[in-house]
Amino acid sequence: MNTSLFHSLEGENICFKSLSTNDAKDIHNYASDEEVSRFIGWNLMNTLKETREHIETMIQRESAGTHLYASIVLKSTQAVIGTAMIFNFNQKANHAEIGYIFNKEYWGKGYGTESVTLMSDFALTSLNLHKLHASVVDANIGSAHILKKNGYELEGRLKDHYFIEDKYYDALLFGKILEPEKGDCL
């Protein structure tokens, strides 16, 4: 997998870079926020040490070739505002899952949409994947909106799939078949 290319993706407002424990403080700002981590599948990070350990685990997964991770950087300030990931690769079916998490100060500003666009384009042109998919807690309306804006379709619903804070939530399953635009050659 071409991790260096993934880490160098760049959009209009954001760019990706490799994860680093040097960014633990910025990552801890959103990884320790209950509102942010509520629906994303990460354990809440209570200490900076826990966040550093989580970053190290992500770096190890990437080194093993099972995951791609990148810090999402706001180009105007160089602040780390989120994390992007591609994981659960299925070599036979040629698809993978995507995920993303952002500091809530940057919600609703288009950075999630831009990140998913970058990951989707990368998955098609560099990984030659046929499909990307994402699983979203039904209460996470913002994340579902990001996927829909990027052409992901709601493919299914798993009833009472997540149990969060003593309450059941449905899982919304989104998918996108990756196809080159007309006239593009791969």
CATH code, domain with 145: 3.40.630.30
**Is 39 a member of any domain?**
yes
pLDDT tens figures, 6-49: 999 999 999 999 999 999 999 999 999 999 988 887 788 999 99
Domain presence at residue 182: no
Coil, strand or helix at 176:
strand
pLDDT tens per residue, range 106-154: 999 999 999 999 999 999 999 999 999 999 999 999 999 999 999 999 9
Position 183 in a domain: no
User: Domain of 59?
Assistant: 3-177
Report percent pLDDT > 70 for the chain. Answer: 96
What residues contact 176, with CB distance under 8 A and at least 6 apart? 120, 131, 132, 133, 147, 150, 151, 152, 153
In a domain, 184, yes or no: no
Tell me the CA distances in angstroms from 80 to 25, 52, 58, 98, 148, one per residue in order: 9, 15, 16, 19, 25
Instruction: Please tell me the total count of domains within the chain.
Output: 1
Distance CA 112, CA 126 (A): 20
Q: Is the pLDDT of residue 184 over 60?
A: no
For residue 106, being part of any structural domain is answered with yes
Question: Residue 5, SS3?
Answer: helix
Residue 16 forms part of a structural domain: yes
